[in-house]
Amino acid sequence: DVIDDFDCNRNATYAGDLDSLSVILNPAPSVDNNSPRVGRYADVAGNGTEYAALVIDYENAINLSVRNQFSLKLWAPKAGNLLLKIEGGVGNKEVAVPVTEINKWVEYSVDFSDQVDKGHKKLVIFFNAGQNGAPGDVYYIDDIKLKASAVVPPLEDFQGGVHLGWQPLDQNNPLHGNFSAPTANTTPNTVNSSTEVGCYSKGASPFSTLQAFAPAAFDLSTLSQFNLDVLSPAGGGTVTFQLSSATQGNKEAVATITTPGAWETLSFDFSAFDAITDFQEIRLIFNAGTAAAGQSWCIDNLRQVATSVNPCLGVVAIPQIIDDFECQRNHTSIFYGAADLKVVNNPNQTNNPSLKVGEYKDPAGAGTGYEGIGYEFAAAPDLSLYNQLQVQVYAPFDNVPVLFKIQGNGANIERRDTLPEKNKWYTFSIDFSGAVGTAGNQLVLFINEASATGGGTYYVDNIRWRRAGYNGCIGDNETQTTTVGNFTYFNNGTYDGQTLQVVANPLPATINTSSKVLKYVQAGNAGIFSGAFAQLDANIDFKSVKTIKTKVLMDHIGKFTMKVEVFGNAFPPVEITLDNTKVNEWEELTFNFATVADNATYDRLTVLVDITSVGAGSDVTTYFDDIVIGAGACTTVGVFTPGNVQQLRISPNPASEYIRVENFEDVARLEVFNVYGQRISTINTANDTRTEIGISQLPAGVYTINGFSKQGVLVGNAKFVKQ
């Protein structure tokens, strides 16, 4: 907004009586203007000086589409007229503003909104216009601005006609429907009582699109949000608002209907794209992806406003994310390099779709080889499961060395890697599994490590901890880290798009006495091949034991399917279907994925119940629990099978250095598991009846020991606590 504040925002190019203008300390600071510096203008004295002026020359046409309120603060020594003028285009406009308050700071403003697209190039200021200047006539000015009006007229209100070029996309009516405007508002309410609106009926395409063209590009630098009144059909849904740029493509924001069948105002925030200057086309998609030919939507009162949407409202913090520079800024205690880091719009979304990223400016000069970004945590991170550090970096040079370091409280753990290619987002995955139990509570990224000169602008994003892979017990639904909480229904009628619920175990008995399980409901109107998928945040890692186990509770004899896949099918999906054999009783199913290639990477797990059936008119509920990938178990295997498993005796317990295990007849092998069901060690006992196991290297926690016979049958188990 600022043309010149005579401090840090000096954006004006002056002409006219420039010699009369100088910068001085504010001679009269007050609550009306406490700026450190202001402009001093000595009005030209003598006959014929009644229209001496200060001219701000833009050289090119001034964009008044949004910023069209010309204002300044003035300290005047005498009463008179302040004449503000815009010129250089089609016609000129000048506005005389009476100056009645003298020897004090007063803000004056004029409206040039009616001069849009007239090509004006200059703003002119006349002090005491129409009167010859006199010796000693000194005026002080400050905060010269061209800003947006507090109230901006709607871009489109359909009153008396259509102001933007609205049409079905590419005028393809069969695919993209029909638009009619202005048409009568048949359901006015307090949100929209307009008499005339625009109404659209969808075409055959699931992505049926309404298109509009503006006479000039939208200026998002000040007003980066679009508000639109929408009248939805009874079913409601979503509205996707796209802005189309010839150079940057389509950018979109999505809003959800909250009052189906009634007018409501939806807001679409484009502040992340405010640097794009060639948005001139709008596209609206109603219930994107849903085929509903003829479905009617009405719109009205499209306006451009300052951003009011909080994009992070309701976002739940994910503790494994350190900083994504958007809504997951969970550790913002930056003890090192904070002055060199700021949040900016993503300069390149090709390999990273984030809207906001961190911009890091590496200090230049000798001795700057170990500048960086340092995060400090309240406590050392728990690396027992999430121990793979992921960081995305965008660099201006090839082959940039990066040092990743955990430090603090005596820790000094370093890992190094190199970013190979410039001007492209690169994802580092740094293995800190060897640092389990560290006391270090600081993480530092040294970008361009050991550089002799430093310098350069880098971008960082999505700093987070990930697990090495999904193995062992990945879902017992008892804790946050052992719950796959994002299983999402697909092709499942009423429940389509919803997530599975974690509920109380309806039958805590026999092989599953856990308190919580997953509830799967096949809707009465489910389509064929309905199911639920979970997008995992790491790859499935069978660790050579290519099985998946889960416990199921079904009220009928049917089928249960496990499927591993990856988006884009880089590796072919593999699915295994098994019949259950028990009704209203927990049983464990083991799915053999022996055909999965050793190098296959899958990050999506899908379950289907009664895979080829459709909804039978009423909902059918199935429960499942204790998902185990590869070896391991979620609970002590077989502990509820009387007579088969003996209790191993462990001493001391708790322990810190070693444990002694006794009372295990017929045990040929001991296996130690952590709370996630991951096997962390195997001890061959040679059929001894006692043995000692060193545990000093283990993180503090609860562990399970299982004893197996030569035939691999579980014959003993126990738990111990590592202090």
Q: What is the pLDDT of residue 642?
A: 37
- Give dist(CA 468, CA 464) in Å, integer: 13
Q: What is the pLDDT of residue 698?
A: 84
- Give dist(CA 67, CA 222) in Å, integer: 8
Q: What is the pLDDT of residue 452?
A: 85
Confidence bin at 62 (pLDDT 50/70/90): very high
The more confidently predicted of residues 183 and 682 is 183
Average pLDDT over residues 569-573: 83
Which tens digit of pLDDT belongs to each residue from 459-479?
Answer: 999 999 998 899 999 999 988
Dihedral sign of CA atoms 134, 135, 137, 138 in order: positive
Residue 52 has pLDDT above 90, yes or no: no
Q: What is the pLDDT of residue 294?
A: 93
Q: What is the pLDDT of residue 124?
A: 94
Dihedral sign of CA atoms 174, 179, 184, 190 in order: positive
- Give dist(CA 199, CA 205) in Å, integer: 18
Query: Other C-beta atoms within 10 Å of 492: how many?
Result: 23
Give the angle 367-370-374 at the CA atoms, nearest 5°: 140
Q: Are 118 and 89 in contact (CB under 8 A)?
A: yes
Confidence bin at 428 (pLDDT 50/70/90): very high
Q: What is the pLDDT of residue 351?
A: 87
Which tens digit of pLDDT belongs to each residue from 83-93?
Answer: 999 999 988 89
Least confident window among 39-43, 259-263, 644-648: 644-648
Q: What is the pLDDT of residue 409?
A: 95
Residue 560 has pLDDT above 70, yes or no: yes
Confidence bin at 639 (pLDDT 50/70/90): very low
Residue 643 has pLDDT above 60, yes or no: no
Confidence bin at 10 (pLDDT 50/70/90): very high
Average pLDDT over residues 147-169: 88
Which tens digit of pLDDT belongs to each residue from 705-719?
Answer: 888 776 666 778 888
Q: What is the pLDDT of residue 518?
A: 96
Residue 254 has pLDDT above 50, yes or no: yes
Percent pLDDT > 70 in the chain is 95
Least confident window among 125-129, 431-435, 543-547, 692-696: 692-696
Average pLDDT over residues 152-174: 93
Confidence bin at 678 (pLDDT 50/70/90): low
Residue 676 has pLDDT above 70, yes or no: no
- Give dist(CA 300, CA 609) in Å, integer: 45
Confidence bin at 445 (pLDDT 50/70/90): very high
Measure the CA dihedral 297/300/304/309, to 10°.
-50
Average pLDDT over residues 258-265: 94
Least confident window among 45-49, 77-81, 497-501: 45-49
Percent pLDDT > 90 in the chain is 63
At 609, list the tokens. 């119940």
Q: What is the pLDDT of residue 444?
A: 97
Average pLDDT over residues 617-644: 75
Average pLDDT over residues 438-455: 93
What is the average pLDDT value for the chain, to the nearest integer? 90
Q: Are 421 and 454 in contact (CB under 8 A)?
A: no
Confidence bin at 641 (pLDDT 50/70/90): very low
Q: Are 499 and 485 in contact (CB under 8 A)?
A: yes
Average pLDDT over residues 373-386: 92
**CA 701 vs CA 384, 576, 653, 708: distances in Å:** 10, 35, 12, 23
- Own/partner pairs for 514-517, CB < 8 Å, 24+ apart? 514/476, 514/477, 514/478, 514/625, 514/626, 514/634, 514/635, 515/478, 516/476, 516/477, 516/478, 516/625, 517/477, 517/553, 517/623, 517/624, 517/625
Residue 640 has pLDDT above 50, yes or no: no
Confidence bin at 636 (pLDDT 50/70/90): very low
Question: Which strands, in side-by-side order, build the sheet including 701-708?
Answer: 646-647, 714-722, 701-708, 669-673, 679-684
